[in-house]
Chain A
Amino acid sequence: MIRFEKVSKTYPGPGKPALDNVSIDIEKGEFVFLVGTSGSGKSTALRLVLRESRPSSGRVYVAGKEVNRLAGWKVPRLRRQIGTVFQDFRLLQNKTVSENVAFALQVIGKSRSEIDKVVPGTLEMVGLEGKGDRLPTELSGGEQQRVAIARAFVNRPMILIADEPTGNLDPTTSAGIMKLLGRINETGTTVLMATHDEHVVDQMQKRVIELDHGVITRDEARGGYGSQVV
């Protein structure tokens, strides 16, 4: 589903490359944690999957397509197959929960009737039934992240990318979010999550890829946050 072939990424200016000859192969339906310290290259890897930037060398494949060779006008189509969740939720504060979720469908041209059919079900799935009319400011951090996940998942993407989704949440709320991501993964969606959250990685016991200064130092099928296999 996601494949990096000897990918390097160097940003302008002096310093080491953000990614250095990285090769990763993630199968359809896998749940993968991308761990490492700040500056290890996690976010760069996610940006390459989303075609927010292009590799300096090597190839990135997403859903069978080489994304760095994708024409600009085809990029939106690629992104419709990828849901994205961030640490800071990125919700539109002037829109209600339902409107935030519906927005993702609206802007890709889905019909009103289709939106009305899909949004309530998605809100129910993420545990926000009955809260569709609330504004994001009326919700807790965990609930806001659930809205962001609903928005990312409402189009039923093949891949869900999560960049530090529990970074702003307490351990209990984080556990709820991880449970939700686990359920999404069970529907067949491939989940790639960059995180610093030791606790959730240890608890989930999924595949862990560790990056250090742009180089893969560990790729374990069922691992924890640290180097030890739990």
Chain B
Amino acid sequence: MRWESAIPNILAGDAQQLACQPMDNETFAGFYTRSARPLWAYLARVSRDPALADDLMQESFIRFLAAVHPQDGEVAARRYLFRIATNLLRDHWRRPQSSSIEEIQEHFLAAQSGTALSDSQVMLGPAMAQMRPRDRQLLWLAYAEGYSHHEIAEITGLASASIRLLLFRARRKIARLLRQQPSNGGER
């Protein structure tokens, strides 16, 4: 037996893993088409760096395919993908860098990426810039992706019980920041 034919069996390992075969090319293409843009939006908004979002998105999909992922349908697969992306973001922030991503202004990044500032970027960008990365993650997962507290806990690795409080604080803060912006008519 040649090693090429032996590898899938070795990779499969035990019975549980045998039930979790990797996606084939066509299934992945469909999943990628539906999931890539939301994932990129999440990474770009949370990291505030479109180039980094590009890199992390590709790495997330490669790790997703290379890993044995849950076979509970596309919703679970997408949640797993977001979890990988969240871990990659965390690793990126932990790595020592010459210039911190936190120090780079949103408008600079938007100008660098060569895209015009949309209404939502103008409105949400400055407010998001004042939020902590973890709060940005929680807010995006909850209000842009519509994940429940339990799902957010699964993706971020935080305790499910603390999500409610963290999200409440983050939501109150960003609501205040958004209302303070001139485009929203100042503070109510």
A and B from one complex: no
B interface residues (Cβ-Cβ under 8 A, vs A): none
- Residue ranges of A at the interface with B (Cβ–Cβ < 8 Å): none
